[in-house]
Amino acid sequence: MADDTLFQINLVTPERILLTGMASEVVLRTGEGDASFLAGHTPLVGTIKPGVVRIVRSEGEEVRIAVHGGFTQVEQNVVLDATDGGADAATGSRVTMLVGVAELATEIDADRARVALEAAEARVTELGGSANRAPAEGEVADPELVEAEAAVVRAQVRLEAVDASSATA
Amino acid sequence: MAGGQERILRRRIKSIRSTQKITKAMELIAGSQIVRAQGRIAAARPYQQGMARVVLETALGDPTAAGRLLGTPENITRVLVLSIVADRGLCGGYNTTVFRTTERLVASLVADGTEVRLVTVGKKAQGYFRFRGQAVDKSFLGMSERPSFTHARDVAAAAVTPFVNGEVDQVIVVSTRFLSAGSQKIETRQLLPLVDPRNAEEQASHEDEPGVSRNIAPHEDPVRMGYTEFEPDAGILLADLAPRAAETQIFAALLEASASELTARQRAMHAATENAGELIKKYSRIMNRARQDTITTEIMEIVGGAEALRAGAAGDDAGQVIETRI
């Protein structure tokens, strides 16, 4: 590899590869807290919690992506293949992020996310009010409430991604 | 009368010709959509491969954690069958072959005393199984043309959740695999528990991409095994992973089924268009002969009439001659 501080990253959604290329740093939220990956990180498999993934590209540019849960895998000395776009080295380290839904911060409509957040919060209070917010009693949580809460988190993550990127810009 | 037959044939040819236009159009539409469907299969592949790698790594990392999520269960008493077909017909034997395979599978499972639940995708399946009195847990409509990952999630909610909740021991998918534009085949495979990637040799035939085996190869090096970190640990991770991996496979199955459906439709419509051409040719011949017959008959009538008249006139003349002679 030409540069030891760089590694291959693939941010993949079920329907396409959202982002691929070389990067120098990846920061994301795993099941056990925030993690930052640099080149040469120990091989790892972990979950990705809904949140903002920051990727520092090889050109120094920082990309923010709102992700809504998934998995990540860090590998060392793997054979990079055609799916790893842009890699000219035969082997190297690779960080793969598999996420169900992901949006580039630059593609997020902040106003829409804000509206969605308000709507989702209203829905949660509406449902939570009637259910008296006691999911501990019956283990079967109201699926609509779960969905509404997930919608709140989604909207929050989107806004977080947008705010952070506009702050740095 | 012969003229009537000609008119009937002309009408029939006109009707066949308009049917031919429709089948031709459907053939072309299916043909153009196949390319897009193939593109979607290709675009979805990196995610599936990534998922397969993560599952493999996790399974290798903690073989004891696999539990009932990997491999083939020993004691199967309850099975859920997911059958994937099209929403529309006019695609040759595409739907029927899947139905037949599903029915055979269900029959053999029931014969073994297994409790079977059925989940279907495609409008055609809904009608088929309802007509035959086969109970269906849930049937999904409107996703066979253009399946999205959201669709796969919905299907997974019906097909995977019972397994996660421990209501069934095994989930089996019956669908059409899109091997290439020229070859599709019906496949019955175990979705859950996940096929153990450690002895996925029998699965190897499906991995048509050399890239997959190259990616797996380094992991088989025993030195590499066991130093991967897991966050959270492998057991919990696998429990999280299994439904997602199943979802991914359902998505792949939906995409491949959709491409296969289009291919089957293109082929069926091509045959129909050709057949319509044959019929037009055949009926045109019969019609032309009928018209020729009419014309011939008419000429014969005219000639016959003229002959008769002339014969009559000649007879008169002869009479006159005789008369004048006398």
Tokens 């002959």 locate to B307
| Main-chain dihedrals φ then ψ at residue B294, nearest 5 degrees | -60, -50
User: Considering A84, A106, A128, which residue would you say is the last residue of a domain?
Assistant: A106
pLDDT above 90: residue B296: yes
DSSP A40: T
Domains of chain B (ranges plus CATH)? 23-272 (3.40.1380.10)
Q: Are residues A96 and A118 in the same domain?
A: no
Q: Are residues A92 and A118 in the same domain?
A: no
Give which of B82, B77, B88, B78 is closest to B118, Cα–Cα. Answer: B82
Reported as a pLDDT band with limits 50, 70 and 90, residue A164 is low
Taken in order A107, A110, A116, A120, is the CA torsion positive or negative? Answer: positive
Residue A90, chain B, CB below 8 Å: the answer is: no
What DSSP assignment string belongs to A67-100?
E-SEEEEEEEEEEP-TTSTT--SSEEEEEEEEES
Q: Are residues A121 and A64 in the same domain?
A: no
Within-domain flag for A1:
no
User: Considering A106, A126, A155, which residue would you say is the last residue of a domain?
Assistant: A106
Give which of B233, B217, B237, B214 is closest to B225, Cα–Cα. Answer: B217
**Residue A53's domain spans which residues?**
7-106
Q: CA-CA distance, B205 to B208, in Å (whole number)?
A: 7
B-chain residues near A96 (CB < 8 A): 50, 53-54
- Length of chain A, please? 169
Are A42 and B49 a contacting pair at CB < 8 A? Answer: no
Rounded percentage of chain B residues whose pLDDT exceeds 90? 51
Please give the pLDDT value at position B81.
Answer: 94
Q: What is the largest CA-CA distance in chain A?
A: 60
Cα of A12 vs its chain's centroid, Å: 10
Within-domain flag for A148:
yes
Cα of B165 vs its chain's centroid, Å: 32
Are A45 and B230 a contacting pair at CB < 8 A? Answer: yes
Within-domain flag for A49:
yes
pLDDT above 60: residue B215: no
Of the two residues B249 and A92, the one the predictor is more confident about is B249
Within-domain flag for A140:
yes
Give the pLDDT mean for B214-230. 51
User: Residue B31, SS3?
Assistant: helix
**Range with the lowest mean pLDDT among A154-158, B250-254, B257-261?**
A154-158
> CATH number for the domain including A65?
2.60.15.10
Residue pLDDT, tens place only, B34-64: 999 999 999 999 899 889 888 888 887 776 7
Tokens 């996790």 locate to B58
Q: CA-CA distance, A111 to A119, in Å (whole number)?
A: 12
Q: Are residues A83 and A116 in the same domain?
A: no
Residue pLDDT, tens place only, B264-275: 999 999 999 999
Q: Best mutation site among A71, A77, A93, A139 for testing chain B: the one with the most B CBs within 10 Å?
A: A71
Q: Are residues A68 and A11 in the same domain?
A: yes
A-chain residues near B234 (CB < 8 A): 45
Within-domain flag for A76:
yes
Q: CA-CA distance, B176 to B159, in Å (whole number)?
A: 18
Please, where are the H alpha helices in chain B? 2-61, 94-111, 123-131, 149-159, 161-164, 210-216, 234-325
Q: Are residues A69 and A126 in the same domain?
A: no
Q: Are residues A69 and A95 in the same domain?
A: yes
Of the two residues A103 and B101, the one the predictor is more confident about is B101
Nearest to B58 among A10, A45, A82 (CB): A45
Q: Are residues A98 and A28 in the same domain?
A: yes
Nearest to B237 among A45, A78, A83 (CB): A45
Q: Are residues A26 and A70 in the same domain?
A: yes
Q: CA-CA distance, B53 to B32, in Å (whole number)?
A: 33
Residue A36, chain B, CB below 8 Å: the answer is: no
A-chain residues near B248 (CB < 8 A): 14
What are the contacts of A143-151 at 24+ separation with CB within 8 A?
Answer: A148/A120, A148/A123, A148/A124, A149/A120, A149/A124, A151/A116, A151/A119, A151/A120, A151/A123
B-chain residues near A30 (CB < 8 A): 231
pLDDT above 90: residue B194: no
Within-domain flag for A141:
yes
User: Considering A74, A106, A138, which residue would you say is the last residue of a domain?
Assistant: A106
Rounded percentage of chain A residues whose pLDDT exceeds 90? 8
Of the two residues A144 and B151, the one the predictor is more confident about is B151
Q: Best mutation site among A98, A147, A154 for testing chain B: the one with the most B CBs within 10 Å?
A: A98
What DSSP assignment string belongs to B184-213?
EEEEEEEEESBP-GGGGGGGGGG---HHHH
- Asked if B173 contacts B82 with a C-beta cutoff of 8 angstroms, the reply is yes
pLDDT above 60: residue A139: no
A-chain residues near B228 (CB < 8 A): 42-45
Of the two residues A75 and B261, the one the predictor is more confident about is B261
Within-domain flag for A151:
yes
Q: Are residues A154 and A101 in the same domain?
A: no
Domain count, chain A: 2
Q: Are residues A99 and A161 in the same domain?
A: no
Of the two residues B221 and B104, the one the predictor is more confident about is B104
Q: Are residues A21 and A40 in the same domain?
A: yes
pLDDT above 70: residue B228: yes
Q: How does the average pLDDT of chain B come out, rounded?
A: 84
Q: Which residues of B are catalytic?
A: 91
Are B214 and A96 a contacting pair at CB < 8 A? Answer: no
**With a threshold of 0.90, does the pTM exceed it?**
no
